[in-house]
Structure 1
Amino acid sequence: MERFTISLDAALAGDFDALIAARGYRNRSEAVRDLIRAAIAADRAREAPAGHCVANLSYVYNHHERELAERLTEKQHAHHDLTVAALHTHLDHENCLESVILRGPTARVQQFAEALIAERGVRHGQVNLIALEAEAHHAHDEHGEAHVHYRPAR
């Protein structure tokens, strides 16, 4: 673990402490680590997509929109290799929220997420991509095969 010191004016330090309390952090170090991770992830998101990722795609749509639910489901089936799971929630008599967990090559995941968000009738679409690092892994027993594990990129 490396340590470093930063200086903040009193107003900024007070605002930061209020943010820490509102978000439930136990100390400044935990909050700073999360802010640094978020900044690194945002910087990576500006780069050309590469490698693998896991993503959470969330969007709201009106289920009365002509054949929209069927189009969204068909797209997910057509990309079953990227779609890990989906959660469907009824918000009111007309609107639904779907949250779809995706995993795969970053460029394909991003393209698929953008295609779902762009469907006519989808509103409030947002995707959160998390870069993954591949790690070769040995077989777990004599009958298994070597395989790849993916972990969040540092």
Structure 2
Amino acid sequence: MQRVTITIEDNLLAALDAFMARSGASNRSEALRDLVRRGLAEDAPEEAECVGVISYALDPSQRDLGRAVPESRQRHHDTAIAALSVPLDHTAAVEVTVMRGTVASVTAYANSLFLQRGVLHGQTALVPVRTEVEFHLHGSRAHTHEHLRVQERWADRGAS
């Protein structure tokens, strides 16, 4: 880890300290690392591998979203890892969908949801990952399977 010295205005430092208190960071370095990671997530290469956490509120009766949204996940069965729907009242639910794929494919799916009438407060969090294929021996049975490894940051463009 590298040590970096920065110069920062008093009001920006006060805002950083307030963020640190809200986020639970134990020091300014933790708070700055978190903010830098979040800021750099916006620069994720479209072809990079990721897991996306897509969250939104919706009115399931609006334009038949209660049927349409699960059907859209079914069409993406190869990339949809998990889904959760939490009813809030008679007309609203909060939903979370976890997907894997490229940044471009996950954000395209999320944006298509967010454009639907009746879907509100959409957010997408992207986690950079790398797929590793591993060979395992369990007793006398050998097999290979994939593991997703979370990365500290997005890989450099053009790097493999």
Q: Under a length normalisation based on structure 1, what TM-score does the superposition of the two structures give?
A: 0.83
| 3-state secondary structure, aligned to 2:62 | coil
- Equivalents in 1 of 2:69, 2:11: separation in Å? 48
Identity rate of aligned residues, in percent?
Answer: 36
Structure 1 vs Structure 2 CA RMSD: 2.1
Aligned equivalent of 1:152, options 147, 150, 153: 150
Give 1:66 shift. Answer: 4.1
- Equivalents in 2 of 1:152, 1:122: separation in Å? 29
- Equivalents in 1 of 2:137, 2:105: separation in Å? 30
Give 1:92 shift. Answer: 2.1
Give 1:68 shift. Answer: 1.8
Give runs of aligned pairs for residues 4-153 of structure 1, distance below 5 A: 4-44=4-44, 47=45, 49-141=46-138, 143-153=141-151
Provide Cα deviations, 1:54-106, integer angstroms capped at 9, x if missing partner. Answer: 01111222122242211111111121111111111122221111111111233
Give 1:35 shift. Answer: 1.5
Bigger drift between 139-148 and 16-25 goes to 139-148
Q: Under a length normalisation based on structure 2, what TM-score does the superposition of the two structures give?
A: 0.81
Unpaired runs of at least 5, structure 1: none
Give 1:140 shift. Answer: 4.8
Bigger drift between 107-116 and 53-62 goes to 107-116
- Equivalents in 1 of 2:9, 2:104: separation in Å? 42
| 3-state secondary structure, aligned to 2:142 | coil
Unpaired runs of at least 5, structure 2: 154-160
Supply the AA of the counterpart residue of 1:36: V
- Equivalents in 2 of 1:24, 1:63: separation in Å? 35
- Equivalents in 2 of 1:56, 1:102: separation in Å? 7
CA contact (8 A) 2:137 2:143 kept: yes
- Equivalents in 1 of 2:98, 2:84: separation in Å? 9
| 3-state secondary structure, aligned to 1:125 | strand
Bigger drift between 136-145 and 112-121 goes to 136-145
Bigger drift between 23-32 and 56-65 goes to 56-65
- Equivalents in 1 of 2:119, 2:47: separation in Å? 27
